[in-house]
Structure 1
Amino acid sequence: MTDSPDLIEISMLEALGDIAADEWDACAAPETADGGRPRDPFTTHRFLSALERSGSVGRGTGWTPRHLVARKDGRVMAVMPLYAKSHSQGEYIFDHGWADALERAGGDYYPKLQSAVPFTPATGRRFLTRPGDEAAGLSALTQALVRVASDNALSSAHITFCTEAEAIAGEAMGLLRRTTQQYHWLNRGYPDFQAFLDDLSSRKRKAIRKERERAQAFGGTIRALTGDEIEPAHWDAFWAFYQDTGSRKWGRPYLTRAAFAEFHATLRDDILMVLAERDGRPVAGALNFIGRDTLYGRYWGCTEDHPFLHFECCYYRAIDWALAQGLSRVEAGAQGEHKLARGYLPVATHSLHWIAEPAFRKAVARYLDAERSATDDEIEVLTAYGPFRRGGPADRPDETD
């Protein structure tokens, strides 16, 4: 299809292999031109391709790739990771209630379109544009997304875990804006973990020290591995951890075993694996992805239960590593009010939604207005009851924004 006023051509890809990695990443991670890390590892060609090549998305998964590409004068100016969805699993911004309501009214909610990183509740750009093409690219991708959904008589299109700036711009173009929340750890210029602890109330500081002491007394050692330090045997162990967690949380794991092989082959320099080992074998682990300024906690699992080992591997070791690398933030994934006591504060997350049926759209809009207000209030209350002493981060501007 072509947007004639701006001579922008839109095409749809059924596989990321149909576009060159450098063309995609010129939009998804233009900052890597300096040789550094991508700001967001999850929208890179190699990450999304790993999901496709491993069979974690695609035929039979309910995540069918339908990526959008915008070209101007033959040059790729903007791209969007996009999937046709036959369910709402693996999204972490929940619309099951919307699906139930529409289907009770005689409509078909599925299939729908979803611009997201599958199984990854991490904030990042979804309108991926070359520098200088931001406004035109966002406009072209938004119009194309709505047109594809409308032309195919789909119920809806969703853009989840987008940036706040994208949410504001999308709302101005007529999309519905939704606000939810997660818990993130923010580095306020701490030189080390002790400086972070000094920002906490005395009671919370003592509680974290005791948790770390008990966790580290599990009878083994804890190692943080990245790059070539991660060996194939470590992935074998982590697959066992992941299967255990997946079977309890989701019924079956979202990722295939082949996904971890793909991660090792193409992404290990962007991965931090924290392994707890006892008697020479891994018994628990946490998997993180490394961005330019942010460490993203993604998966945890274990074959042995030890007190507070989860908190040590997932939260405290992540903070340790982020501090050592000078990172500004740790995102610890979806949900979990228990993160608040460990220094992870509530922050707003954003999504955009297009609903085809007018009456249903109005109902969803009313719901989102009320939800935004409730979420804002919840963030304010939770932050006030956080672990920081008066004069700590809750009372200071976010210097990382």
Structure 2
Amino acid sequence: MSRKDWDALANPGWSLGHGGRLERAPTLESVSQETESTSQENDFNPFICHDFLSILEESGCVGPQAGWIPQHLVLEDPDERPVAALPCYLKTNSQGEYVFDHAWADAYERAGGSYYPKLQCSVPFTPATGRRFLTGARVDRRAAIGALLGGATALCQMREASSVHITFMNEAEWEAAGDEGFLQRMDQQFHWLNHGYADFDAFLGDLASRKRKQIRKERREALPADIEIEWVTGPDLTEAHWDAFFEFYQDTGSRKWGRPYLNRAFFSLLGERLGERVLLVMAKREGRYIAGALNLIGSHTLFGRNWGCIEDHPFLHFEVCYYQAIDFAIARGLSRVEAGAQGAHKLARGYLPTPTWSAHYIDHPGFARAVADYLEEERAMVARENEVIRTEMSPFRKT
């Protein structure tokens, strides 16, 4: 499937120029119509574009050796023109997914089954929310989702896979998958929302006094006189920046909770093809880069992805990953920051719990019933936790 055809489905209404420069697509065909999905279609998401997914493959981060074998589903009209697509991979492990099913795999294997291979419909190594069912502007989106779900279950059976997992989808897709009999799972991340703030101080003004003082203290201590911050994006990105960042990334991956899924070639290709959608926040001390965070820029959302450092300094992680992201979002007029998977520590920095959605098909009826019972309890627990955090632990002033 060509880059042009894929991107017309992935991000209708947008086109990518050289280096990932974002433009409104000029053709009538690519303009979104008023449907339930317009908010998602109008928000350009860099992770589902052809360039990002192909970079993962070309760099060797995705492929048989990584346990991610591309099996993308494409729905065609009677004239064999692509009208919808679903990024899909045949998986031989559960690494790099961020919706954890290791316990399911263990139980399935103990019962005598083979959990792998399975089908994973997602963006590899990327816990960022967004559309997974990619449809053009003039397609019956609900019907296309149903057809792709049917295709996914058929592919599951054809490949003798145990299951299908669609992760970090949007809520409307989640509901549609539930209507088609997929099991529904719910989790949460912490996202920051821009309520039209003029600057960081305006954001702080919405926080409780104690939280406001704490953040100001953290920012002062994170940046003593000898540490400076740079925002690097677009044509300013160089191989030297990627060399430094890759060293940070490997340091994080070497820790017991980390795993470096991305190789050095990936970052060079990312800068070359999507540099305009990249924001590197780099901390420098005495002329040397010591820490950095990789973000990707959507039309309305800044997506925080990876962080690393080679020197430890108090609160520098919070500054580089969270506070600088807020500064950038305000400066660019972006409506939200997604700070990645997990991390309740983000709450005190103004990031609030936000539901994330996934849908699952288990081919074995008995195991599917057991998972369904588990997910019903898990959804209730996540919803309760979300409500408690928002009502009793929010860093924002009570109104």
TM-score scaled by length of structure 1: 0.91
The alpha-carbon deviation at position 35 of structure 1 amounts to: 1.6
Paired position in structure 1 for 2:283: 276
Structure 1 portions without partners, runs of 5+:
1-18, 392-401
**In structure 1, C-alpha distance between the alignment counterparts of 2:256 and 2:191, rounded to whole Å:** 21
The alpha-carbon deviation at position 98 of structure 1 amounts to: 0.5
The alpha-carbon deviation at position 59 of structure 1 amounts to: 2.5
**In structure 1, C-alpha distance between the alignment counterparts of 2:225 and 2:73, rounded to whole Å:** 49
Paired position in structure 2 for 1:54: 59
SS state of the match for residue 91, structure 1? coil
**In structure 2, C-alpha distance between the alignment counterparts of 1:69 and 1:99, rounded to whole Å:** 28
Paired position in structure 2 for 1:64: 69
Does residue 74 in structure 1 map to residue 80 in structure 2?
A: yes
**In structure 2, C-alpha distance between the alignment counterparts of 1:104 and 1:263, rounded to whole Å:** 41
Does residue 107 in structure 1 map to residue 107 in structure 2?
A: no
The alpha-carbon deviation at position 324 of structure 1 amounts to: 0.6
TM-score scaled by length of structure 2: 0.92
Does residue 221 in structure 1 map to residue 228 in structure 2?
A: yes
In structure 2, which of residues 352, 373, 397 is the aligned counterpart of residue 389 of structure 1?
A: 397
For residues 109-258 of structure 1, what are the structure 2 equivalents within 5 Å?
109-133=115-139, 134-217=141-224, 219-249=226-256, 252-258=259-265
Residues 204 and 251 of structure 1: CA distance in aligned 2, closer, same or farther (over 3 Å)? closer
CA contact (8 A) 1:242 1:253 kept: yes
In structure 1, which of residues 311, 318, 323 is the aligned counterpart of residue 318 of structure 2?
A: 311
Paired position in structure 2 for 1:28: 10
CA contact (8 A) 2:252 2:258 kept: no
Deviations 1:183-217 (A, max 9, x none): 00011121111111010000000000000000011
Question: Which runs of at least 4 in structure 1 moved beyond 2 Å after TM superposition?
Answer: 249-252
Q: Percent identity?
A: 57
The alpha-carbon deviation at position 153 of structure 1 amounts to: 2.2
CA contact (8 A) 1:31 1:38 kept: no
Deviations 1:349-387 (A, max 9, x none): 000000011110000000111000000000011112111
CA contact (8 A) 1:218 1:306 kept: no
SS state of the match for residue 173, structure 2? helix
Paired position in structure 2 for 1:98: 104
Residues 218 and 51 of structure 1: CA distance in aligned 2, closer, same or farther (over 3 Å)? farther
The alpha-carbon deviation at position 166 of structure 1 amounts to: 0.1
CA contact (8 A) 1:42 1:48 kept: yes
**In structure 2, C-alpha distance between the alignment counterparts of 1:166 and 1:250, rounded to whole Å:** 31
SS state of the match for residue 293, structure 2? strand
**In structure 2, C-alpha distance between the alignment counterparts of 1:250 and 1:78, rounded to whole Å:** 37
In structure 2, which of residues 84, 88, 94 is the aligned counterpart of residue 88 of structure 1?
A: 94
Q: Give 1:387's aligned amino acid.
A: P
